[in-house]
Structures are given as C-alpha cells and as structure tokens.
Structure 1
Amino acid sequence: MESPTRFILTEHSAALWRVTFNNPPVNLVDATMTSQLNALFTRAEASDSLAVIIFDSADPDFYLAHYDLSDENELRHVLAHPEEVHPWTALLARLGSLPLATISSIRGRARGAGSEFLLATDIRFASREKAIVGQFEIGMSAIAGGGPASRLPALVGRGRTFEILYGGLDYDGALAEQYGYVNRALPDKELDGFVDEFASRVASFDVQTIRDIKHFVNLVTQRPEAEYKDQMDAFWAAVNRPAQQYVAQHLFEAGLQQRSDVELDLPRWVTRFQYHSGSSVE
C-alpha cells in the first residue's frame, strides 16, 4: 500500500489502527480517497491480528464534509455505465463487512457522504459540542446516494429517518445521541480519551471472537446490497437534472467545497437557491 494522501494511517499496534482524514480544505470524499481506503481495507482484511480501526479527522471543523461534486467526468462515466456499482457504494458495503470493529470518532461536520461513512461503521462516538451530522442532499434536489435511507431506520426509526432526509438539517452531538444517530456524545475534552480507552479495550480481546460478533450482528442488520446501488443510481440521475444543477451552480459560486460560510452552514445556504419552473442553469 502506497502512502495515502487523503488520510494519515497510524498503527498503534498490530491490533489497533487509526485513520485520520486529512484532505484540505474541508475533507471532501473523492475518488482518490475511495481508492486509498479500499487499499487500506485490503490490508486490514489480510491481517490476522487487527481488531479495531478508529476513524477520526485532523480538521476540528470537518470530519468529512461531503462528496466532491466538481468532477464532471465522474458523472459522464456513471451515466454511461449504469450497470456498474459506484465505488463509494461498494466501499461502504465493504466497510460494514470488515472482519473487525470500526469506530467513528466524530468532531466537526459529517454531512452527505461523511454521514454515510460513519453510518457504515460499527460504533459512532461524537463530540457533544463540536460534532455536526446530517444529510443535506434534499436541499440540492437529490436523494442521498450512499445508503442512509437503508441504514438510518435501524438506528433512529422510520419517523426520524424521514425527518433527517426530508429536512436536510444539521444535528449536533447531543441531539444525534438522543436520536440514536450516534452511540453517545461526550464533552469534547473527553472524546479522545474515551475513544482511545474503549478501542484499546476492544483490541485487547480475542480477534476471532470479535469477528464472530461482527458476522452474526451483520446477519440480522445488513440490508441487501441492491438497495444501495439503487439509491446511488437515483442520486446520479438527480445530478443530471436541471433542478440539481441549478442549486449546485449557485452554491459553487457562493463558496461550496471551499472553507467558507457555505460549508459551515450548508443547510441554510441550500434553501437560498431552490429550483422553480422558469429557473435556468447558465
């Protein structure tokens, strides 16, 4: 595995690794990150001793902002090859099936694909004051593509899933804990110590037992993979429609994917540029 450029890998021990997302300016998910995570997962799956991976962020304001929407070549490829499973969809399914414990330690914004990533991990711990999670895609006239319509109901229930996906709002650590979006929210100053202690405890146990637990829990909690492909296909179909293009164009002009107020307060900004009959994409 070549040295990653989208995250920092720290191997604390043979049993415990840490992946720290580090993709300035706002920790976007992109094709390069997906490829590098896949390479990491290949290493993880081949290990006889690895028990736990922690996923955290080097940026206190952005855990993973969302997917990079600026690559027009990706849209053309997706529309030309509808039979393919999108790499992000495949990666999240692989993450959920890794034969080890995966822990998200959330500080900063995890929206869109960032939220989808943490939903695919086994356990989610959040900073009470500094974690922000949500699915904003409805504000861009699109369904969330990475599977939250399938993963959220088991965590938060049907009604709250609709609230999250229909509303496109942010949820702070405290409310996310109340809803079940995250396992628990801790005071920010306690988050790192708690996660380290918990992960070290899990990593001290028998690896095969951890794998057995993961296997049997997955048997009753994982959804059919076809659901995830259908949701991603619906997302990319939306990206090809005038409504999504209209919102995206105006958000990019205002500062989307830059370190800007748009990214800091995205749910508010998406409501400024909604598409109506007669609107045009220049």
Structure 2
Amino acid sequence: MDPDQYTTLRVGIDAGVARITLDTPPVNVLSGTLIRELHDVLGVLRDDRSVRVIVFSSANPEFFIAHVDIHILDEMAGLAEIADRNPDANLFQGVGELLRHQPQVTIVKLAGKARAGGAEFVAAADMAFAARETAGIGQSEVLMGIVPGGGGTQYLRERVGRNRALELLLTGDLVDADTAAAYGWINRAVPASELDGFVDQVAERIAALSPELIAAAKELVPPADLSDGLRAENTAWAELVSGDLPARLMTGALELGAQTPAGERDLESLMRRVAARP
C-alpha cells in the first residue's frame, strides 16, 4: 500500500494495527472522494493478513465525520461504479456494510462530533470509544427533511433497541458520550485525556492475538443480516430526498453556515432556524 495515494486519509500500519486518520477539511464531511478512498483502503486491507485491527480517527479534534457532504447528490453519476460494487445497498449504506463485514476488527476513536453519515460510520464499526468531555453523536437527518440513508435506521435499532432508536431518529438531537454509551450506541465513554491511550491499548491487545482467533470470534459473533431493512430504508430515503423540502432545508443550511466549523458546532439549532423560516 502507498499511503501517499490518498488525499482524504492518512494511513499508517504498525504491529498489526492500521491507523486511518480521516482528513477532509474544514469539518470532515463524507464526500465522494472520501467514500472512494475508504472503499479502496478497506479493499486493500481486506487481504492483508498482517493487519488485524483498524483504528479510525480524525485529523480534526472537533469533527469525526460531520455528515454526508450536502453537495454529494451532484456527484452521484460519478460514483456509480462505487455504488455498483454492492448491489444490495445504496452508495451510503455500502460504506457501513463494508465496515461491518471487514475481516479485521474495526474501532472508531471518537474525539469530536459525528452526525448523520458520521454517526452511521460509528455504528457500523465493531467498536467505538468516545471522549467524555468532547464527543457527540447524532442521527440528524430528520432536521434536513429526510430519514437516514446510510444504514442508520437499521444500525440504531440493532444497537440501542426500537424505543431509543425512534427517539434518536425523530428528535435529531446530538447526544453526549455518556448518553451514547448508556444507550449502547458506543462501547464506552472515557476521559478525553485518556482516549488515545485507551484505544491504543485495546487495539494492541487484539492485534497481539492470532488471525485465526480473531477470525473465529468474528465468525461466532457475526453482523446481523440487515438486507431487508436496508432496502426499505433506501426506498424511504430516495422518496423523501427527491422532494422539495430537503432541497430547501439543505440550501438554507448552507446559507447559514453548514459545513463550516462555526455552523457545525451547533448544527441542530442552525437547522431548526432554517426550518422556522417562512
């Protein structure tokens, strides 16, 4: 692997652990380029038996993945080849399904915020650990007039149960790391000052195991088959996203500062201001 081939990722491999840092300034939106490069790097690592754990983090301490790039609908034709790789899932679900079925153990280190497509990424990984004082996670699509389209409905129901999934889906609220851990959305919250060391310890302990042990554990605790739910989610998302309301809300969000650091710090309030416009 040539780490220099990527423009949105920094990749390093040491002692069986691949560390992938997401780096798409200013707020790490899930762009078309990031989707392409995630597919590529995970495809390369899939066949690398020397790598037993993959740790994802962000170059931006405030934002892990802010959400899917609002402009990505303009790129869909150019992303068709990526989408076609997984006929049972749409382009956005394909990222999560790639993570869920990766042979290595996948871990998210969440120091900042992850919303919508970012929250789906977190839930698709095998494990996630978050900084108590600074992390936040939210399934915020309802504020843009849509439902999640990247697996969020299915991943949430599996992780937190139907009642909490409905709460998180329908309020669109950002929750803190302690709440996310209590709900089961992430593994646990740890003090921000200890997050790096804690995740390194978990990753290194797992990487010290034989590939056969890791493979056996993942085979005995497989990801659920969510195919039917993902198809239903895609149908609902596609119907909603083609309407007038999402376009109006997303345009208004960009006007008020979405996809900038200032606007993304409290995206929920920004989106509610857009929705309240006459």
The TM-score normalised by the length of structure 1 is 0.90
For 2:148, the equivalent position in structure 1 comes to 144
Q: 1-side partners of 2:79 and 2:6: how far apart?
A: 25
In the TM superposition, what is the alpha-carbon distance from 1:161 to its structure 2 partner? 0.5
For 1:210, the equivalent position in structure 2 comes to 214
Change (3 A) 1:259 1:31: same
Q: 1-side partners of 2:76 and 2:53: how far apart?
A: 35
In the TM superposition, what is the alpha-carbon distance from 1:181 to its structure 2 partner? 1.0
**Does the 8 A contact of 2:32 with 2:79 survive in 1?**
no
Q: 2-side partners of 1:77 and 1:269: how far apart?
A: 30
**Does the 8 A contact of 1:104 with 1:124 survive in 2?**
yes
Q: What whole-Å deviation, never above 9, does each CA across 1:108-163 have from its counterpart, x for those lacking one?
A: 11001100001110001000011110111001110011112111122211111011
Q: 1-side partners of 2:57 and 2:79: how far apart?
A: 29
Q: What whole-Å deviation, never above 9, does each CA across 1:232-258 have from its counterpart, x for those lacking one?
A: 343233222111111111111111112
For 2:46, the equivalent position in structure 1 comes to 45
Q: 1:133 aligns with which of 133, 137, 143?
A: 137
Write the mapping of 1:136-175 to structure 2, written as runs, cut at 5 A: 136-175=140-179
Question: What letter is aligned with 1:153?
Answer: R
Q: 1-side partners of 2:212 and 2:230: how far apart?
A: 29
CA RMSD of aligned residues (A): 2.2
Q: 2-side partners of 1:60 and 1:185: how far apart?
A: 16
Instruction: State the number of aligned residues.
Output: 272
In the TM superposition, what is the alpha-carbon distance from 1:45 to its structure 2 partner? 1.1
More displaced stretch, 263-272 vs 131-140: 263-272
* Uncovered stretches (5+) of structure 2, i.e. residues with no partner: none
For 1:25, the equivalent position in structure 2 comes to 26
Change (3 A) 1:228 1:186: same
Q: In structure 1, the residue corresponding to 2:132 is in which secondary structure?
A: strand
Question: What letter is aligned with 1:129?
Answer: E
Q: 2-side partners of 1:229 and 1:38: how far apart?
A: 20
2:106 is aligned with 1:110 = no
2:245 is aligned with 1:243 = yes
**Does the 8 A contact of 1:141 with 1:244 survive in 2?**
yes
Q: 2-side partners of 1:25 and 1:100: how far apart?
A: 29
Write the mapping of 1:49-64 to structure 2, written as runs, cut at 5 A: 49-64=50-65
Question: What letter is aligned with 1:29?
Answer: L
For 1:191, the equivalent position in structure 2 comes to 195
Question: What letter is aligned with 1:48?
Answer: R
Q: 2-side partners of 1:240 and 1:42: how far apart?
A: 31
Q: 2-side partners of 1:216 and 1:74: how far apart?
A: 39
Taking only the aligned residue pairs, the percentage that are identical comes to 31
Q: In structure 2, the residue corresponding to 1:181 is in which secondary structure?
A: coil
Q: 2-side partners of 1:232 and 1:32: how far apart?
A: 21
Q: 1-side partners of 2:57 and 2:256: how far apart?
A: 28
2:257 is aligned with 1:252 = no
Q: 2-side partners of 1:118 and 1:150: how far apart?
A: 13
In the TM superposition, what is the alpha-carbon distance from 1:10 to its structure 2 partner? 1.1
Q: In structure 2, the residue corresponding to 1:59 is in which secondary structure?
A: coil
Q: In structure 2, the residue corresponding to 1:166 is in which secondary structure?
A: helix
* Uncovered stretches (5+) of structure 1, i.e. residues with no partner: none
Q: In structure 1, the residue corresponding to 2:215 is in which secondary structure?
A: helix
Moved over 6 A (4+): 76-79
Q: In structure 2, the residue corresponding to 1:18 is in which secondary structure?
A: strand
In the TM superposition, what is the alpha-carbon distance from 1:275 to its structure 2 partner? 7.4
**Does the 8 A contact of 1:89 with 1:229 survive in 2?**
no
Q: 2-side partners of 1:183 and 1:236: how far apart?
A: 31
Q: What whole-Å deviation, never above 9, does each CA across 1:150-197 have from its counterpart, x for those lacking one?
A: 111222111110110010000111111111111100000011001001
